Structure 1
Amino acid sequence: MDNHTSSSVPHIHSSPYRPFLHWLKPTTAIPIVLYIILSALGVSTSSLGSDYLRQDSTKPLGYEFGAPQSIRSDEFLRNTPMQLGVLAAGETISSPLAAEPDLVTQIPNAGFVETIVFFDAAALRLGPFLPDSMLFAGYRLFPLLLLLLFCPRWLQKLGAKPKLAWFGTSLFIFSPATFWWSFLPVTIAGFAIAGSYLVTVAAERWEQSRRLSAVLYAAGGGILLARLVTGYIPWALTIGVPIVLATSVWLVWPKAERRFGLLALAAGSLTSVSVLVLMVWENLPGIKAQLATVYPGQRITTGRALDPGELFGAPVLFKLQSSGTVLVGTNASEISTGFTIALVLAVAMIAMSPNLGRDRDSAAMITLAACCLAWFSWVVVHWGTIGSKIPAANLVDPLRVAQSLGFPAILLLSLVLSRWAAPVGKALPVLIAASCALITAYGGGVTQQTRMPGLRGFEVGLAAFAIGAVVYFMVAHPHRRWPFIIPVLLAASAVAFVNPITIGLGDLRASASAQRMLEEGKKARAANELWATDLWFDDALLDATGTPILGGNQMSGPNREQWLKLDPTAQHEFVWNRGASIIKFAWTVGPDIIIESPQPDVITVTVDPCTLQGRGFNVTYVVSTQPLQGSCLVPEQSLQWFSQNQFVYAVQK
């Protein structure tokens, strides 16, 4: 009876539906279902509800829980308007003064290959057909979905236990720099880990002689990994590269499977290099402009010793959630880091680990540790002129290393803890915990003295005690679950109220001013016309509604031919030859044009609006915070934005 039953019922392993069954597991299904629900509701963590982006701040539109973060202006005044502009226009709208920014923003425009690589942003082109709030939320949440789906799998592939894989993933997400940098670390790691994991699957498929499947997985991984050399390069180097190197070593380490690992790496690398070459060809003018910029293209740095607060101050950053916290010489984004203390703990445990073998998991772990220690040396040793000559590393400011080093360190710690055996006695756990607590107290104390004077000694001590306690229980009881749940809960509580929960797109879509500009944007795009304003917040509104503007973002670098219309002798090229910058206009009367850079990422052009058309710019409307006098200007209906009436003028030819 039993034998008959077992032979007549097909095994799940032989089912043709087996490849799809893992999507029904709770650890996979729950993130996907939540992603779909949150996207459909238009939920994001954007600070687009800032007063700067309100028609009338006393009558805000939309739903927002929590306070917008003014320090995240890069998010709500640059990235969000740019992304909403794609939703409105179906394409990227850039200033004629700026080179095409596709590789920097990771938002494709006309290129076929970049559309494949940046497929998530390409979905924003569906704005004319699907709800904007749904597409925007889906785009913003997608990297987090990737991390939740692939980071635990990748860690387990490299030897982590399931509970520790989720521990590492969760602590990665709830690190201070994740929330204070608008989830940029998650975006970088999400694609890097997903791509790395797909390449490991490709190796398995090759071993199983499933060649077509292997090629597809390797190609998919290669496409995801191609993004690493675009976007924010410093953190791609500190977060993404260690992930890729650890995966590569894991693939080629065992002799018996080395051929399959090499095949997967070769196919993935060939795909990455191929699409990169094609993307470079598609974006050659923008790349040339970026490489030729004064800032940041020609900026070279070197390693230098940072203070302990910059390295180990993360546990005291819960204080940033308190309103009225005063920071000296920095801001909440710049001071925020990952949990670098995880590197100290991981390296100490590796040194004391008696069961470190020569298997592929150990090799991957040591590779990740070596990458972390190499970057750690960049922030604790003064490298001088030698450091400035090290390719790639000389592009990364030590402060950016300090902010991001905790992320690969957390992944490393997950792997180390998975191999850790509970020590006999309490002396070793106490020693390790006390060391981590003292280092935290040192970092917190320096932070208190130099950057956060409102931080109390009691709070520094509390953070140090919490680190010591969780480290002790993790080291002493590695086989239990609760020692790994507590630190995740503590980390989550320290960042829970950093970003608002926003439903919908607020005044950027629901207000009368936004609706007006959506229509004006359609007309301007059809007629190849430009608007120009003297207020960054007005630029953000026009950008978000797909209205072509003369100012705004200059992300990759300048369009030199267009800038020479304003500066024919290139006298001010040192000022306008910048990337990662904002172009602002100020209105005056007379023929003189003044081009200045009050700070590294801002370019200010003071000009008579009536001279712009004579310079070759088809500016047909000008917006001003003050009344203007000019023979070419005809008053139009005012535009209310930033709780002010902005003066609008038609520019006569």
Structure 2
Amino acid sequence: MTEGTVVGRLRRIWSAWVERYRDFTVPRADGLPNRRVLLAGPALVLVFGVLAVGLAINGTSSGMFHPELSTSKDPDLIAGSPAAIRTDEWNVQTVWAIAQVEQGLPVINESMVGGMDATLPQDLPRVDWSVAFRPHLLGFPVMDLDHAVALKWWLPALGLIAALYCFAVTVLPRRPITAILLATGFYFSPFFQWWFLQTTLWPVAWALVVLTALIWCLRSSTRIAPIVWCAIVGYLTVVMAMGIYVPYIVPAALVVAGVGIGIVARAAGDGMRWADVARRVSGILIAGVVGAAVVGLWLFLKRDTVAAFLGTAYPGERLYPTGQSDLTYLAQTVSSSFALALKSGGWLGLNSSEASTFLLAGAFLIPVVVWLVIRRVRARGPVPWAMVGASAVILLLIAFLYVPGWDAVAHLLFLDRTLPPRLRAGMGLASIIIVVLLLAELSERMRPGRVLVGAVAGLFLASQIAIAIAVLIGGGPDTLATARYWWILAPLSALALYLLGRAHGTAGVALLLVVGFITSATVNPVYRGVLDLRETDASAAIRAYDAEVPGARWVGVGEGITTAMLLESGVQGFNGFQGAPSRDLWSEVDPSGQYEFNWNRLAGVSWKPGEGEPVVANPYPDQILSTFDACSAFAQESVDFVLSDESVWLRSDCLTKEQTFTGGKADSLTIWRVVPTN
């Protein structure tokens, strides 16, 4: 066979595949994606999810406890290393989840004296009606712990990918490959990987589903599809709201409002009567009202817990004023090329999670949006109002951060209930929406010139170089060296912006995925199951001693391993990350109420050695550290056993050593019995 024959055959095969792809992606008559295209992305996500959950593979950092227990390699750590900074996951949510499993998934967890509501704000696995709207927790009643944790890890993330894919193919019905690449790249944003919790992911997924449903309701020529989308909106509204973390909900809601108004305005501008617009979007409004009613009922039933939580000293009802940010925050927000520095503990003065951000491609491409609007206005064509709305939301968030003096308006928009680092979620969401909409609007016949797009890419590259110079001057070469490969990632990101602005969408999106994967794929480990402290000898001994004394109570003194061990073992005590503070607990620790400001907060409760009655302090706003003296009236009346680790030295006439467990650290855990004073 000659070379020409081989080339010709390959061309025919390629042409045949292209033709099949075109046939596969033919849109419906109303311009929306056909069923195969719409479901292809979710189907791929489902297959991955089934495999990952079936193998119990997830990204938990619960292996942080392994060195406390053994000097050997963690057999369940497949790749990477645990992320110490992600304490909300491995030291709070995972520990509490295991405590819930140990106690039988109750609504009121009894690990801390006085009990704690498992539904909020911790969102723990439990068995009650509200868990129907916590899909990531549905594995705990029916699966073993390892697989349930895997489902909890993956479901919100895969929901995010599926939501962006559906939005993208709704706008780009002939480009499912571009859509799945874009959705996967968005998932690998540093912000999501460093804040990998359901409270972060569900609001963004909800926003994308609402906008997708809005487009379907306005364009669909059939009745069934809009009804299905409205039902999904109603369900996800409850899912999102039950996360109750307002700093992430507000930015997502503002993006929905801005882009949604733009979508409606475009439909009206295309000739649809306002009465028809109202009729078509009424389903979404009804779904939102029904979802809000379910949430309202839930909050009413939990009103005592909500009132106690809102009455805390921290977080309480925090209001953030306008115009309080500085250039450092701006540098953190746009420094996506330096994301690998976060693996070294932080960037520009913030820890890794707080400093994480997105590659804000859409935000940098706002000049292209302006160019497109001007072209459309001059040609008397349809204005891309949805892009205008997304751009306006980004500018609104920037104004809140840098322009003072409009606090009353910001309060009406709920902006003052969020925090600057959390606003990046809204910027990232609006930015990716701009990218999708630009992909639909730009083409070889309708695209800005090389000068404008080159200037946009150059501006991004210049911002990265400026940050590098500032870090080099302020922190030295060693600090800049932690941001590995920034000098490669910055040009790649700039090239992605150029390709997107010049209508080379698939190539630009592929580069976004490459950059995201390089910067974020190793943030979380690849872990099999979860490290379950109940499987240790120490936990078995704790349960045995606890059974000796009916109603026994414990205190853990030392590092986090003591608190985690007690909680997962299912015994009752005075350690844990509390939600709404238990008055019963603190009336025993602080009967006079002297330290109420210190303990009336959403915070982790831990103990250190001291003398006399407990002294309660706050090393950080979300930490409560109290002193413990076994001879104090508190200990004599309320504590039966103490668990300590090697970080503290406990010696007291009121303590007798019962058992010591060696492992990763010498004498790492010791059980003590509290005995009467002489």
Normalising by the smaller structure, the TM-score range is: 0.7 to 0.9
Which one of 153, 177, 192 corresponds to residue 140 of structure 1? 153
The residue that corresponds to 2:464 in the other structure is: 440
Give, as a single letter, the amino acid of the residue that structure 1 aligns with 2:399.
S
Does residue 284 of structure 1 match 2:310?
no
CA distance in 2, matches of 1:237, 1:268: 19
The residue that corresponds to 1:637 in the other structure is: 659
CA distance in 1, matches of 2:219, 2:99: 42
Does residue 400 of structure 1 match 2:422?
yes
Aligned residues of 2:332 and 2:348 also touching (Cα < 8 A): no
Aligned to 1:281, what secondary structure does the other structure show? helix
The residue that corresponds to 1:170 in the other structure is: 184
CA distance in 1, matches of 2:564, 2:232: 35
Does residue 543 of structure 1 match 2:533?
no
Which one of 357, 379, 383 corresponds to residue 401 of structure 2? 379
The residue that corresponds to 1:414 in the other structure is: 436
The residue that corresponds to 1:345 in the other structure is: 365
How much has 1:143 moved relative to structure 2? 0.8
**How many residues of Structure 1 are paired with residues of Structure 2 in the alignment?**
622
CA gap of 1:463–1:63, structure 2 versus 1, over 3 A, is closer
How much has 1:225 moved relative to structure 2? 1.4
CA distance in 2, matches of 1:441, 1:507: 45
Give, as a single letter, the amino acid of the residue that structure 1 aligns with 2:605.
I
CA distance in 1, matches of 2:435, 2:474: 29
Q: Deviations over 1:42-88 (max 9, x none)?
A: 11111111146641133534233112121222221112212222333
Give, as a single letter, the amino acid of the residue that structure 2 aligns with 1:623.
L
CA gap of 1:598–1:648, structure 2 versus 1, over 3 A, is same
Does residue 532 of structure 1 match 2:555?
yes
CA distance in 2, matches of 1:424, 1:187: 35
Give, as a single letter, the amino acid of the residue that structure 2 aligns with 1:85.
A
Which one of 621, 625, 629 corresponds to residue 600 of structure 1? 621
Moved more, 176-185 or 271-280: 176-185
The residue that corresponds to 2:24 in the other structure is: none
Q: Superposition pairs for residues 169-188 of structure 1, below 5 Å?
A: 169-182=183-196, 185-188=200-203
Q: Deviations over 1:425-452 (max 9, x none)?
A: 5333323322232233334444554568
Aligned residues of 2:448 and 2:501 also touching (Cα < 8 A): no
Does residue 648 of structure 1 match 2:665?
no
Aligned to 2:62, what secondary structure does the other structure show? coil
The residue that corresponds to 2:513 in the other structure is: 488
Does residue 506 of structure 1 match 2:531?
yes
Give, as a single letter, the amino acid of the residue that structure 2 aligns with 1:96.
V
The residue that corresponds to 1:429 in the other structure is: 453
CA gap of 1:388–1:259, structure 2 versus 1, over 3 A, is closer
The residue that corresponds to 1:465 in the other structure is: 491
Does residue 222 of structure 1 match 2:234?
yes
Aligned residues of 1:552 and 1:584 also touching (Cα < 8 A): yes
CA distance in 2, matches of 1:521, 1:409: 56
Aligned to 1:533, what secondary structure does the other structure show? strand
Does residue 275 of structure 1 match 2:332?
no
Q: Superposition pairs for residues 66-215 of structure 1, below 5 Å?
A: 66-91=80-105, 93=109, 94-96=111-113, 100=117, 102-107=119-124, 109=126, 111-112=128-129, 114-126=130-142, 130-158=143-171, 161-182=175-196, 185-194=200-209, 197=212, 208=222
Give, as a single letter, the amino acid of the residue that structure 1 aligns with 2:566.
L
Aligned residues of 2:58 and 2:526 also touching (Cα < 8 A): yes
Give the TM-score normalised by structure 1.
0.83
Greater RCO between the two (CA within 8 Å, min separation 6)?
Answer: 1
CA gap of 1:143–1:469, structure 2 versus 1, over 3 A, is same
Moved more, 456-465 or 488-497: 456-465
CA distance in 1, matches of 2:476, 2:154: 32
Q: Deviations over 1:377-432 (max 9, x none)?
A: 22333447657755521122223324652233122222223212333753333233
Aligned to 1:440, what secondary structure does the other structure show? helix
CA distance in 1, matches of 2:622, 2:62: 21
How much has 1:33 moved relative to structure 2? 1.5
How much has 1:344 moved relative to structure 2? 2.2
Aligned to 1:105, what secondary structure does the other structure show? coil
CA distance in 2, matches of 1:565, 1:309: 47
How much has 1:507 moved relative to structure 2? 5.3
How much has 1:36 moved relative to structure 2? 0.9
Aligned residues of 2:247 and 2:417 also touching (Cα < 8 A): yes
Q: Deviations over 1:527-571 (max 9, x none)?
A: 65443211322212332344433211023x322343233223322
The residue that corresponds to 1:262 in the other structure is: 281
CA gap of 1:427–1:209, structure 2 versus 1, over 3 A, is closer
How much has 1:313 moved relative to structure 2? 0.9
Aligned residues of 2:321 and 2:407 also touching (Cα < 8 A): yes
Aligned residues of 2:237 and 2:292 also touching (Cα < 8 A): no
CA distance in 2, matches of 1:407, 1:451: 31
CA gap of 1:25–1:209, structure 2 versus 1, over 3 A, is closer
Aligned residues of 2:611 and 2:627 also touching (Cα < 8 A): no
Unpaired stretches in structure 1, ≥5 consecutive residues = 1-12, 14-18
Aligned residues of 2:574 and 2:585 also touching (Cα < 8 A): no
Give, as a single letter, the amino acid of the residue that structure 1 aligns with 2:251.
T
Aligned to 2:572, what secondary structure does the other structure show? coil
Aligned residues of 2:77 and 2:525 also touching (Cα < 8 A): no
Does residue 47 of structure 1 match 2:46?
no
Aligned to 1:418, what secondary structure does the other structure show? helix
How much has 1:516 moved relative to structure 2? 5.3
Instruction: Report percent identity of matched pairs.
Output: 19
CA distance in 2, matches of 1:485, 1:64: 27
CA gap of 1:195–1:84, structure 2 versus 1, over 3 A, is farther
Aligned to 1:622, what secondary structure does the other structure show? strand
Aligned residues of 1:51 and 1:642 also touching (Cα < 8 A): no
CA distance in 2, matches of 1:407, 1:31: 20
The residue that corresponds to 1:305 in the other structure is: 325
Aligned residues of 2:562 and 2:644 also touching (Cα < 8 A): no
CA distance in 1, matches of 2:380, 2:176: 22
Aligned to 1:598, what secondary structure does the other structure show? coil
The residue that corresponds to 2:256 in the other structure is: 243
CA gap of 1:480–1:631, structure 2 versus 1, over 3 A, is closer
Aligned to 2:480, what secondary structure does the other structure show? coil
